Amino acid sequence: MKKSIAISILSGLMAAVPVMAANYDMYVTGSTAFRPNVFSAISKIFDGGAPTDSNKGTSAAPTGSDNQWTMVGTCTNLGVTSGSDTLTIHALFTGSVQGISSMLNKDQLVFFSSGTRNTTALVTNTASIAFSDVYSKPALYHLPTDGSFAEDDVAVQPFAFFRSTGLGNLQNLANITVQQVYAFMQPGVLPLSYLDGNPNDHGTNVYLLHRTLDSGTRVTTVQESKYAGSIKIRYYNPGGDNFINATTNRGPAQFGPGYVGGGDIRTAMQTPTAGGQSIGYLSFADGRTVTAVNWQNMLAYNGVYPISNWTPGSTWTATTNNFTPVTSGKYSFWATEVLDHPATQAEWNTFLSAGQNLSFSQLNALIGRLEATYSGSGTLNGSIDYEIELSKTVSPYATAVRLSDMQVTRQSVGGVIAPN
């Protein structure tokens, strides 16, 4: 009798103790070029198609152009959370090559810790997944091929060359060829006459602004031009209004000098004086706002633009981006966007030991939704493929291409393009 009473009392006490809600975390890193597409998908992966709160360290809400942000909410729809559990997704886009390194070497990165707006507290942790504009093979770090990691194709990322706001005859430049890009690579400076064929422009220098070795955009550009060798990096120097040889890194780049992000190159190209004598290779998203008019300073590459419904120098009036030159194989300056992640329980166990708190099944549920292919009907919140489809008719329109829209393929970065 006394035992029964004791059990009854204990049960009552246990019922009175509230069950603590768990918070799970996913850490995302990698490509700066693809960050708008990742942002769009992740912002809808939560229950109700939106996070309960989001943060970029200020009172403003984060956007797809931000390199660092955090979102928090519930995710019972994918079985990632239950009850009052929450999921916090932390993003820090450092570049494709750093993303590959983050997977391979379990680099410790500094993320915003909270999804609550205007919170600047930080947390150091490894990344859970990384996006890359390039496969790891031509990059500085190679993921093992023993099945412990996966590189899953998620989209095609077009790139383009853009001329700056420009001085003098640079405004007349409309095209650049693969041979000219090759010649540009090592010195980082060429006479404008070599690019436009006008002998009167021989005394005018044009500078090529390079990203760091962290950059998948740079890896793609080098592979596309078939260049192999050293590269001289030059920075625009606002103080002297000139270009100087780089001797140190800028910002958080780990792997050599160069501009850290496409946005940094875009800023240098917008300088109306000497900084305006430059050409940059950018993602379609970053290149859009080099000028006030969308994509106005985009150059044709080997005589072809990445979108067919574009008239150089015109006011943008289209209601979509027609990437037929990319999807048909006429335009070759693109790469396959991949999602790198641990692919086995054994490998994920090493990430758990390094600070992760998602189970392998929770991780796979989130990856599965991000990589899910949209069939063309209904909704598929949280899918990158679905978000690219939606962006086709919403300004500023698509900046990446669905795999299902591609009529051609390539097996390596800068490799031969062949029909599907």
Q: Residue 165's pLDDT is what?
A: 77
Distance (Å) of CA 356 to CA 26, 27, 61, 199, 361:
8, 9, 26, 60, 13
Where do we find the tokens 């939704």?
A: 369
Query: Other C-beta atoms within 10 Å of 12: how many?
Result: 9
- What share of the chain has pLDDT > 70, as a percent? 90
Is 334 in a helix, a strand, or coil?
A: strand
Residue 4 confidence (pLDDT)? 41
The pLDDT, as a whole number, for residue 166 is: 67
User: Which pairing describes strands 334-342 and 129-132: parallel, antiparallel, or unpaired?
Assistant: antiparallel
pLDDT value at residue 240: 82
Mean of per-residue pLDDT scores for the chain: 89
Handedness of CA 279, 283, 286, 289 (dihedral sign): positive
- In this prediction, residue 263 carries a pLDDT of 84
User: What's the confidence (pLDDT) of residue 351?
Assistant: 98
Instruction: Write the pLDDT tens digit of every residue in 213-247.
Output: 888 999 999 999 999 988 999 888 887 888 888 87
Domains of the chain with bracketed CATH: 23-154+337-419 (no CATH), 156-334 (3.40.190.10)
CA distances from 207 to 187, 233, 387 (A): 9, 10, 36
Is this model's pTM higher than 0.85 or not?
yes
pLDDT, residue 25, reads 98
**pLDDT tens digits, one per residue of 83-133:** 999 999 999 998 898 899 999 999 999 999 999 999 999 999 999 999 999
* pLDDT value of position 396: 79
What was the pLDDT predicted at 21? 85
* φ, ψ at 218 (rounded to 5°): -65, -45
Distance separating alpha carbons of residues 168 and 249, to the nearest angstrom: 31
What is the 3-class SS of 338-363, one letter each residue?
Answer: EEEEECCHHHHHHHHHCCCCCCHHHH
Question: For residue 246, how many other CB atoms are within 10 A of its CB?
Answer: 18
- Check residue 417 and give its pLDDT: 96
Q: Which stretches of the chain drop beneath a pLDDT of 50? A: 1-17
For strands 68-73 and 53-55, give the pairing: antiparallel
- Residue-level pLDDT at 207: 92
- In order of 282, 387, 401, the CA distances from 393 in angstroms are 22, 11, 13
Q: What is the pLDDT of residue 13?
A: 41
